[in-house]
Amino acid sequence: MAACCTHPLDVVKVRMQTLDSASGSKRPSTVTVIRKSIQQSGFRSLYAGLSASIMRQMSYSLVRLGCYEKLKSRLSRDGQPSTPQLILAASLAGGLGGIAGNPADILLVRMTSDSIRPPEKRYGYSNALSGLINLIREEGLAGLTRGLGTNTFRAVLMTASQVGSYDYFKTLLLRQPVPVIEYQFHDNLLLHLAASCMAGTVATTVCSPADVLRSRLMASSCNATFTQVLRRSLQDEGVRFLFKGWTPSFVRLGPNTVLLFVFYEQIKKTWSAAMS
């Protein structure tokens, strides 16, 4: 549900991250990328790769969120988990999720960036399932592991900074009133909104470098290594390329994180009530 709402911003983010800036031209803004995408392919182009996004959530997010809850409960049998325990549980769960969702991530990056590639270099996947079949047929099973190391590292950072920090902020806000306004939060929708907004900001900043490198590795049709992509990007664009697409990442990840945890908390409450 969260992915369907924020997918257009994910498309813009990937397109900004994979645009070639080697020519020295000024990098386009978020608004420019959105305008050009609509002018060239229509509004529907902003939903390119939606099937891959849903496949990604059903693999990556399924594993990381499920494993996180299990690991957290095992690490905190004696009560409230500590911050290091939350980070450890989130990091391990994120790594497992990154491995499980890597094929869908490859499809998502390729499908969302296809329209800005030269016609002869486009993949032309019609949906995630056909894309998966074509990927295996053309690149073998090894093709499913393209960018796996970077993607797993990003998943560790993302889960630790998003899921781990969400639990941390939620506990912090429940424990003491907010300074200045002296407002005491309770376990309700307002708390979930506040904690998820802060978690989204932290996650966007922490994950931006790994996210950019992951997108470029997965978008590449050649066998470029992590070191080659990093060196070439640093030479052509400087260190600032590591935060390329930060604005659409934040605009996307903020609402995505809010929607993710709001839906998640409500589903948990509904499930608990039904089970009791």
CATH number, residue 177:
1.50.40.10
Give the per-residue pLDDT at 89: 92
State pLDDT tens for residues 221-276.
666 777 888 888 888 888 878 887 787 778 778 888 999 999 999 898 888 888 87
Helix axes 2-18, 246-275, angle to 10 degrees: 160
H or E element, residue 198: helix 189-219
What are the structure tokens assigned to 174, written together?
Answer: 């429940």
Question: In 3-state terms, what secondary structure has residue 34?
Answer: helix
Output the CA–CA distances (angstroms, integers) from residue 250 to 69, 180, 208, 254, in the order listed: 25, 26, 9, 6
pLDDT of 184 over the 90 cut? no
State pLDDT tens for residues 112-128.
878 777 888 888 888 99
Question: In 3-state terms, what secondary structure has residue 178?
Answer: strand
* Closest alpha carbon to 108 in 239, 198, 17: 17
Confidence bin at 181 (pLDDT 50/70/90): low
The answer to whether 186 and 74 have CB atoms below 8 angstroms apart is no
What are the structure tokens assigned to 166, written together?
Answer: 């969400």
The answer to whether 164 and 86 have CB atoms below 8 angstroms apart is yes
Q: What is the Rg, in whole angstroms, of the alpha carbon atoms belonging to the chain?
A: 19
How many angstroms separate the CA atoms of 228 and 234, rounded?
10
Give the per-residue pLDDT at 104: 93
List phi, psi (to 5°) of 71: -65, -40
What are the structure tokens assigned to 72, written together?
Answer: 């957290």
Name every residue whose Cβ is closer than 8 Å to that of residue 165 and which is 6 or more positions away in sequence. Answer: 198, 199, 202, 203
State pLDDT tens for residues 38-93.
877 777 878 888 999 999 999 999 999 999 989 988 887 766 778 888 899 999 99
Q: Which of 80-84, 179-183, 186-190, 229-233 has the lowest mean pLDDT?
A: 179-183
Give the per-residue pLDDT at 93: 95
Give the per-residue pLDDT at 27: 63
How many angstroms separate the CA atoms of 126 and 79, rounded?
49
Give the per-residue pLDDT at 23: 44
Confidence bin at 160 (pLDDT 50/70/90): very high
Give the per-residue pLDDT at 234: 84
119 burial via Cβ count (<10 Å: 0-12, 13-18, 19+):
exposed
What are the structure tokens assigned to 248, written together?
Answer: 């659409």
List phi, psi (to 5°) of 221: -95, -10
State pLDDT tens for residues 202-232.
998 888 887 788 777 777 666 677 788 888 8
Global pTM value: 0.74
Residue of higher predicted confidence among 10 and 24: 10
H or E element, residue 146: none
Q: How many structural domains is the chain composed of?
A: 1
* Closest alpha carbon to 161 in 257, 269, 45, 48: 257
Give the per-residue pLDDT at 22: 44
Partnered with residue 183 across adjacent β-strands are: 178
Name every residue whose Cβ is closer than 8 Å to that of residue 161 and which is 6 or more positions away in sequence. Answer: 199, 202, 203, 206, 207
Expressed as residue numbers, the domain containing 177 is 2-19+26-275
H or E element, residue 28: none
- As a whole number, mean pLDDT of residues 12-22 equals 67
Give the per-residue pLDDT at 238: 82
How many angstroms separate the CA atoms of 263 and 255, rounded?
12
pLDDT of 164 over the 80 cut? yes
pLDDT of 11 over the 70 cut? yes
Choose from 18-27, 54-63, 171-180, 203-212 the range with maximum mean pLDDT: 54-63
